[in-house]
Each structure stands twice: as C-alpha cells, then as structure tokens.
Amino acid sequence: MRSNLNPILLISFALAVNSGGDSFCQSAPSTASRVSPKPLVSHIYTADPSAHVFNGKIYIYPSHDIEANVPQDDDGGHFNMRDYHVLSMGRIGGKVTDHGVALDLKDIPWAGRQLWAPDAAYKNGTYYLYFPVKDKQDVFRLGVATSKSPTGPFKAQPEPIPGSFSIDPAVFTDTDGASYVYFGGIWGGQLQRWHTGQYEPKGSKTDLGKDDQPALSAKVARLSNDMLRFDGPVKDVQIVDNAGKPLLGGDHNRRFFEGGWMHKYKGRYYFSYSTGDTHLLAYATSKSPVGPFTYQGVLMNPVTGWTTHHSIIEFGGKWYIFYHDVELSGKTHLRNVKVRELIRKSDGSIVTITP
C-alpha cells in the first residue's frame, strides 16, 4: 500500500483536481490554504489519527510509527508498528497529553505483526479500540480491545472479529444508536486479495481488476450490540458519480484506496477516504450510512509523505480535520499528527484544504 516515490515530489500530483462531483458542489472549487499547523506531539512519531470527543474532551487514537529497520516496499513492510498510544487535549491548540501505551502487540494472542491505523468507540459504559493487524499467517484481520477508560489500557479479545479482513477500521454510531464499521485498503491492505470472497495469498497490488470496470469498494458492516462482532453481512461502500455510475478502477483521482472515515452533518452522511497513489483526501455523500455515496470532491490536497489518513470531528461548534504529514522526519514511515479547522460552504460542501 506504499510507494518508493520521493514524497516531496508527490505534492504536485493533484493540486487542481476536484472534478466529477454532482450538483452538491458544482461551483468552482474554493481552497482553504493557511500556515501549516505544528505537529501535536514530537516526542514520538504518530500517524492515522482517529479523533473522538468523549466527556467533553478530545481523544486521539493514532498509529505509533517507529524506525523498525525494515526495507521499504510497496506492501508497507516498513510500517512495522508494535503498539498504540492515546493522546488527549482539552481544547484545540491546548496542551496534548500522551497517556502512554494503550495496547501492545505482544498482548494480542492471535497477532503476528504490523499494528496499523486504529479507531475507537464508546457504548454501554465501555470504550472499544478497533485495530488491524496481520495474524500469524500474515493476513490482515480486524481486532477489538476493551477498557473502562478512554485512555486504556485495553484488553484484546482472544480472536479477531469473525469474518473481518483488510485494514483501517472506522466506527460510526448513528443518532439511532446503530453502529457501523467501515474498513478496507488496497495494495498492502490486501483488499484486492478478497475479491472472490476468499483470501488469495498469491494476489498482489496488480490484482485490482480492469481500469474500465467498477473500482474495488471499501466495506461496511453493522456492529452487534456488544460491539464485538458483525451483525449481518459485509457490504460494499459503493461510490458513484453524478450520473449514478460506479467509479472505475482507472479513476485514481476519485476511487477509494484506504483510510475511510464517516461523519454526519445536517442529516447527510459523509464518507471520506484516501485515493492512495494520487495522495488526495476525497469525499462522497449519501442519505444512508451504507450508501450508495455520490462523489463530491477533494477535501485535502496532498501532504508531504506518501500516505494520507484522517478523521473529522465537531468540537465547540466547529469542525476539525486530524491528519498527518512528515514534517518532523521527512521519512514517509515516520509521520506526525496535526489538526486544522474544516470549513464548509452554505450548501454543506467542504472547502478544499491545501496543506
């Protein structure tokens, strides 16, 4: 899921890309460009921030990047993370507290390697940490761990979520109390190895279908009341264009790659995601949490570094996007988390950010 390309050169890939939306954002794209915010923490490397508001405070659940001295490859072997830390802040721009290790690889009975981007949720008096990790057969599965505190420590379930696969879980609880988990990522995230319904160990990033066929979709499943398993079948998160036609595999500026996130604004569901090898954060909207979603545009242009991964929350009457770049290290596998305000137009469309 990663590339060996020079991360600095990638900034120029898509600064003008924002085509293909429907009437929801037909006007010429506006761009929000401000001085880049500083990393939230600098004593450790952090990435893939999943932010949530619990009890009036912001908690951030990032990946914890380390220098593991693993050779770089397109499947992301050099992203060999081994634990999770939880960060918190009482206000945007305020002090950020690192609460230390919340879950360690060695404490997950079924895990093999690579603790990638996590997410968290709260329900029934319990906090849940969802995470992707390769099992002992080197297949990505989704796990869940629980705690009575938003900062952990979290205790992992003895087995992965039954029927789970791939990476980047993002949990959304709707106003009716129903919870859903969105997941998936191609290339190193192995989503393309599941297109037949069974894992294909010899599959590679090239097994993505034809450019003129519908693109691979992110996945969504409703969660059970205890938040520990899927409650029903895994479904495609279908993204369509203005005419209602599915985005195609060759449409690298708009199709899903990884890093999905869901939020709701004025009754509309916003599914945002990374386009991966074109390094954009894009979004699509729907009247349903399971879609189909109509592509709307780019919400953030490329950051420095190959990967891009985000979350969106409302706090204090404003909306914010948490994301990462490589300001501290200049290395694509040693990233740092940032936050900035998310601006919307009067019609609900998101103003494109240029980091």
pLDDT digits (tens, 9 = 90+) for 301-328: 999 999 999 999 999 999 999 999 999 9
In three-state secondary structure terms, 134 is strand
Q: What pLDDT does 31 receive?
A: 53
User: What would you report as the CA-atom Rg of the chain, rounded to the nearest whole angstrom?
Assistant: 18
- Among the listed residues 65, 258, 277, 327, the single catalytic one is 258
Q: Which helix (H) or strand (E) holds 123?
A: strand 119-123
Per-residue pLDDT averaged across 237-264, rounded?
98
Given a contact cutoff of 8 angstroms between Cβ atoms, the answer to whether 309 and 117 are in contact is yes
Q: What pLDDT does 107 receive?
A: 98
Per-domain boundaries in the chain: 7-353
Q: What pLDDT does 34 receive?
A: 58
**CATH: 2.115.10.20, 3.30.930.10, 3.40.50.720, 3.40.50.620. Which one for 7-353?**
2.115.10.20
Per-residue pLDDT averaged across 246-261, rounded?
97
Give 148-184 pLDDT, tens digit per residue: 999 999 999 999 999 999 999 999 999 999 999 999 9
b/e per residue, 52-78, with b = 16+ CB within 10 A? beeeeebbbbbbbbbeeeeebeebbbb
Residue 327 is a catalytic residue = no
Given a contact cutoff of 8 angstroms between Cβ atoms, the answer to whether 65 and 81 are in contact is yes
Distance, in Å, from the CA atom of 206 to the CA atom of 214, rounded to the nearest integer, reads: 15
- pLDDT band at residue 32 using 50, 70 and 90 as cut-offs: low
Given a contact cutoff of 8 angstroms between Cβ atoms, the answer to whether 259 and 247 are in contact is no
Per-residue pLDDT averaged across 199-226, rounded?
90
Q: What pLDDT does 19 receive?
A: 37
- Among the listed residues 48, 65, 277, 327, the single catalytic one is 48
Give 37-67 pLDDT, tens digit per residue: 999 999 999 999 999 999 999 999 999 999 9
Name the least confident of 12-26, 99-113, 177-191, 218-232: 12-26
- Closest-CA residue to 7 (of 301, 303, 305): 305
Residue 48 is a catalytic residue = yes
In three-state secondary structure terms, 232 is coil
Burial of residue 191 (number of CB atoms within 10 Å: 0-12, 13-18, 19+): buried
The average confidence (pLDDT) of the chain is 91
Query: Which two tokens mark 33?
Result: 């460009």
Angle at 107 between CA 223 and CA 328, to 5 degrees: 90
